[in-house]
Amino acid sequence: NAGVTQTPKFQVLKTGQSMTLQCAQDMNHNSMYWYRQDPGMGLRLIYYSASEGTTDKGEVPNGYNVSRLNKREFSLRLESAAPSQTSVYFCASSSSVGYTFGSGTRLTVV
Amino acid sequence: GQQLNQSPQSMFIQEGEDVSMNCTSSSIFNTWLWYKQDPGEGPVLLIALYKAGELTSNGRLTAQFGITRKDSFLNISASIPSDVGIYFCAGRNYGGSQGNLIFGKGTKLSVKP
């Protein structure tokens, strides 16, 4: 099925560990986004990529890095995980209509 | 930066009741979107609105783009248990920063069967 695929769906990390969240879309969209969702906070933009080869900071970029590997793939990296990064992470890609979201990665940092 | 005020934050309703939620902004938008998020899933687009005053329906859902371009509402008629979830409004301005789409904080809908 066409859409946005995120891996993994669940992850538990120890404080200080690193990991990369993967995202791929097969809709030929130019723009891709990473959000985090916390209770009562809605969706907060971490980073986005307006096109292949470009990335920009969003509202809450600290502690994260991103790579737009090609038009399909946009990864989010936590270099040194902290408990404050426990959250649900969503990747999205954008068409002229709106955003298509992946099903999310639930990350717990202990 | 731009912010959307979405209300109510949560609501409990009896099955069969109508539901109404809204979003307001201090800034104007060119597009209003409404998303629904089921538990454990990502948000899914329900309705997109492109013109001030536009009224659009999708089954039991009806949404309107406010004439001032600073607000939008979503109505759900005759609610059923599967309407449970979080509803997000989002506003879009072409040419803006932050990826152009601004989200409200969501309305959590719970339905008593």
Give residue-wise pLDDT tens across range A39-74: 878 899 999 999 998 999 998 999 999 999 899 999
CB contact under 8 A, B88 and A33: no
Is residue B3 pLDDT above 50, yes or no? yes
A38 part of contact set with chain B, CB < 8 Å = no
Residue of A nearest to B97 (CA): A58
Residue of A nearest to B10 (CA): A40
Rounded Cα distance, A16 and B35, in Å: 35
Rounded distance between C-alpha atoms, residue A2 and residue A15, angstroms: 35
Cβ separation of A45 and B88 shorter than 8 Å? no
- Asked if B95 is an interface residue toward chain A (Cβ–Cβ < 8 A), one would say no
What is the mean pLDDT of the segment spanning B13-38? 93
Q: Which of B101, B38, B46, B53 is nearest to B74 (CA)?
A: B46
When pLDDT is cut at 50, 70 and 90, the band that residue A86 belongs to is very high
Residue A15 near residue A73, CB atoms below 8 Å: no
Are the beta carbons of B99 and A98 separated by less than 8 Å? no
Question: Of the candidates B42, B98, B103, which has its C-beta nearest A42's C-beta?
Answer: B103
Cα maximum dimension of chain A: 39
How many percent of chain A have pLDDT more than 90? Answer: 82
The answer to whether B16 touches B112, Cβ cutoff 8 Å, is no
Per the CB < 8 A criterion, the answer to whether B86 and B108 are in contact is yes
Residue A58 near residue B99 (C-beta atoms within 8 A)? yes
Chain B interface, mutation test: which of A6, A25, A43, A51, most B Cβ atoms within 10 Å? A43
Q: How many helices (H) and strands (E) does chain A have?
A: 0, 11
Least confident range from A45-49, A94-98, B24-28, B87-91: namely A94-98
